[in-house]
């Protein structure tokens, strides 16, 4: 009785060996590249938290500018950035936090910044104006309301999140 031999030719052996080594090397090269590409995306989700900014009892119906620091991640680089918000309590006793960044070309708006136009946010760069609730005044350069921060009050402290655009008019 003849036994059937399972043989692998020299050519097949070399082909399998090279495929195995090549695949292992390719995985070694591509895995860190894929991880590096995805890592900033994964990290940015961790930065979506709210930041404690001010004690609620300090806030009145008059808008006050408050600065606060946020952590930002740019690829592998982590840093702190200072942001500002105009915060006040509206007629329904709700807290409102508006971005001070003008929607025209990005200058900083000030509450009551123009004596000719009281009770308005005023942008000194090109005379942009916004009502107290951040709505752009028609006939002035900005075409959209000031962005509004996500806001949460917890244990007497006001926390702010991301500033959200409110569309244009
Ligand atoms: S940047 Fe504010 S009006 Fe132009």
Task: Quick: pLDDT tens for 98-139.
Answer: 999 999 999 999 999 999 999 999 999 999 999 999 999 999
Q: Report residues whose beta carbon is within 6 angstroms of any ligand 1 atom.
A: 102, 104-107, 123, 125-126, 128, 141-142
| Closest-lying ligand 1 atom to the alpha carbon of residue 128 | 3
Is residue 50 very low, low, confident or very high in pLDDT (cuts 50, 70, 90)? Answer: very high
CA 139 to chain centre: 30
pLDDT computed for residue 85 by the predictor = 98
Query: Which tokens belong to 169?
Result: 């008019």
Q: How far apart are CA 123 and CA 110, in angstroms?
A: 6
H or E, element range at 82: strand 77-89
Tell me the CB-side half-sphere exposure of residue 130, using CA atoms within 13 A.
31
CA 62, CA 90: separation in Å to the nearest integer? 9
3-state secondary structure of 27: helix
Distance from the alpha carbon of residue 52 to the mean position of ligand 1, in angstroms: 29
Q: What is the 110 CA–ligand 1 centroid distance (Å)?
A: 12
pTM: 0.71
Q: How far apart are CA 87 and CA 58, in angstroms?
A: 10
pLDDT score, position 169: 54
Taking the centre of ligand 1 as the mean of its atom positions, its distance from the CA of residue 28, in whole angstroms, is: 51
Q: 57 near 74, Cβ under 8 Å?
A: no
Pocket test for ligand 1, best of 107, 109, 139, 145 (most atoms within 8 A of CB): 107
Distance 169 CA to ligand 1 centre (A): 16
- 23: alpha, beta or left? (left if phi > 0; alpha if psi -120 to 50): alpha
Q: Quote the distance between the C-alpha of residue 75 and its chain's center.
A: 14
**Strand, coil or helix: what is 35?**
helix
Residue 101, token pair as written in the block: 């960044």
- Separation in Å, CA 140 to CA 29, 63, 128: 55, 21, 5
pLDDT of residue 48 exceeding 60:
no
């Amino acid at each position: 009785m003849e036994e059937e031999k399972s043989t692998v030719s020299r050519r097949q052996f070399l082909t399998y060996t090279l495929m195995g080594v090549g695949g292992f090397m390719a995985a070694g090269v591509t895995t860190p590249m894929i991880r590096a590409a995805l890592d900033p995306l994964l990290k940015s989700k961790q930065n979506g938290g709210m930041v404690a900014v001010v004690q609620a009892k300090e806030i009145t119906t008059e808008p006050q500018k408050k600065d606060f620091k946020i952590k930002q991640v740019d690829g592998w680089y982590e840093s702190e950035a200072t942001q500002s918000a105009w915060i006040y309590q509206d007629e329904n006793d709700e807290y409102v936090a508006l971005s001070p960044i003008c929607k025209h070309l990005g200058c900083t708006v000030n509450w009551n910044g123009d004596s000719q136009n009281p009770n308005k946010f005023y942008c000194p760069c090109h005379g942009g104006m916004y009502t107290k609730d951040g709505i752009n005044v028609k006939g002035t350069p900005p075409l959209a309301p000031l962005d509004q921060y996500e806001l949460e009050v917890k244990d007497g402290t006001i926390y702010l999140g991301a500033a959200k655009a409110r569309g244009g008019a």
